[in-house]
Structures are given as C-alpha cells and as structure tokens.
Amino acid sequence: MEISEIIPHIEALVFASDKALNANDITELINNAFGFLEERITLDQVESALNGIQEKYSTEFYPFELKQSGGGWQFLTKPTFHTTIAQLNGDKFLKRLSNAALESLAIIAYKQPITKGEVEAIRGVNSDYSIQKLLEKELIIISGRNENLPGKPLVYSTSRNFMDYFGINSTEDLPKIKEVLADQIVEATVIKPEDFTDNGLFEQLEAVAQEERENEEAPNTEEETGDYNEDEIDAADADDSAPEQPA
C-alpha cells in the first residue's frame, strides 16, 4: 500500500479516537483492517505518513493541526482559536488550577512516583485538598504503594491527561530544572571603588577640602600673628585723642 493511500486511513483513525494514538497503534489498526493484504504496512511508512499529515495541516488554511501530545498523535485546534472554542464550555473550560494545586502537580511530575507525605515535606503544608483536586481532574493517578515506608503509603504519578493538559508527549518533555532556573541565576558582582566614585567630582571635592585645611592653618589677622607696627599704633591713638579744630 502506498503512503498516499495510508494517509486517509490514519486521518480517520486519529480523528475518531478518544485518546492519543502512537505510531505502533496506528500500524496495528490499519494492518488489522486490511488483514487480507499480502504486504503489510510498516512502522516506517506510518511515520512518514504522519509527518506528511502534520505538514499538511500546519498551513493557515486549517484551524487545527496534528500534534504529538498525551503519548501519541491527536488533532488539536490551534491556539489562535482558543477564545472562540472557550465559549462552548464556559467557565469550566477556562477554569485554571490553583497555585497550591500547581505546586503539588509540579512536585509529583518531577519526583514521581511520590507519596503525599513527601509532597507535603517539600511544600511545607498539608496537601490533601490539592491532591484530591488533581485526582478529580485526572491529572494524576495512584500508581501503587511504597513498600519501603511504614504503612505502605500510596504513591502518585502523572496521568496521560496530564500530558494532554500541558501539550507534551511524555514526562521527558518537561523542562529541566536547571533550564527553568537558568534565567534566575545572578552572577556575583565585583565591587570596585571606581564603580561608586565619580573621579572628576572626587578630585574637585579633594581640592576644596585641601583649600579649607590650608585656610584653617594660615593666620587670618595681623593681631593673630602678633606682627604689630608700634609707630602706626601710637599715631592712630594720638589722632583719636586730639580735639577737633573748628573749621
């Protein structure tokens, strides 16, 4: 079977499926549908067909696209039409997770499988309500019990709906912690005197201070120096004591 003949069948399967289909699922389904064929289609053919379909619906002509999400392939509407689609389901569609739920979900996503007690130890607060809400929204699942801890508490992991919700194909697509924190890392600042001093202004201030110091050290009056001219003083006293003469 040619790839051009496979494409319509793949589109029909992805469109009709209520969950994401991976390439292996699609290959098996098509081969089962055409079991009478002597030459069965291969995984490589399906993957080539999926790439062709993805390219086809990536154009602006279509309001939806083929994307890998939730562990397989799905037809998803493009972000441009989010506001339009939101009107179908009202507040339920627009309702977002609380900060507490997001914190718990992030811890579970990166540390899974993990117990509720371990989540609470990291958050520092009780997480009963947050985990219950995440279970109700089917973003996490109970994946077993921790046999090594007292009481064998339940352990939680993210679900397939989690991948759908965030548009990722697997937990490996989650951003690495060091990548998330990279923008927040601040390099140490080397402090230098010139960083805090305007050299020109500093020199002017130094000159003014030096001038003031010199003025303080220098005598201000002849009286302070003790350099008197006795003849001039006697003459001045004589003039002051002489009576005024009539004109």
For 217-226, write each residue's pLDDT tens digit.
665 554 444 5
**Residue 169: pLDDT band with limits 50, 70, 90:** confident
Determine the CATH number of domain 3-81. Answer: 1.10.10.10
Beta bridge partners of 75: 66
The token duo for 119 is: 């989540």
Q: Quick one: average pLDDT of 31-48?
A: 84
| Residue in the structure block whose two tokens are 């993210």 | 158
In the chain, CATH 1.10.10.10 sits at 3-81, 96-184
Residue 54 pLDDT > 50? yes
Residue 14 pLDDT > 50? yes
The token duo for 116 is: 């509720």
Q: Quick one: average pLDDT of 33-61?
A: 88
The answer to whether residues 104 and 127 touch, using CB atoms and an 8 Å cutoff, is yes
Residues 6+ positions from 200 with CB-CB distance below 8 Å: none
Residue 39 pLDDT > 60? yes
Look at 16 and 226; give whichever has higher pLDDT: 16
The token duo for 115 is: 């117990």
Percent of all residues in the chain with a pLDDT value above 90, rounded to a whole number: 34
The answer to whether residues 158 and 166 touch, using CB atoms and an 8 Å cutoff, is no
Residue 46 pLDDT > 90? yes
Determine the CATH number of domain 96-184. Answer: 1.10.10.10
pLDDT of 247: 44
Residues 6+ positions from 161 with CB-CB distance below 8 Å: 70, 137, 138, 139
Residue-wise pLDDT for 68-106, tens only, equals 887 789 998 888 888 888 787 665 555 678 889 999 999
3-state helix, strand, coil in the chain (%, to 5): 60, 10, 30
| Residue in the structure block whose two tokens are 């007690």 | 117
The answer to whether residues 116 and 156 touch, using CB atoms and an 8 Å cutoff, is yes
The answer to whether residues 100 and 129 touch, using CB atoms and an 8 Å cutoff, is yes
The token duo for 15 is: 């469109």
The alpha carbons of the chain give a radius of gyration, in whole angstroms, of 43
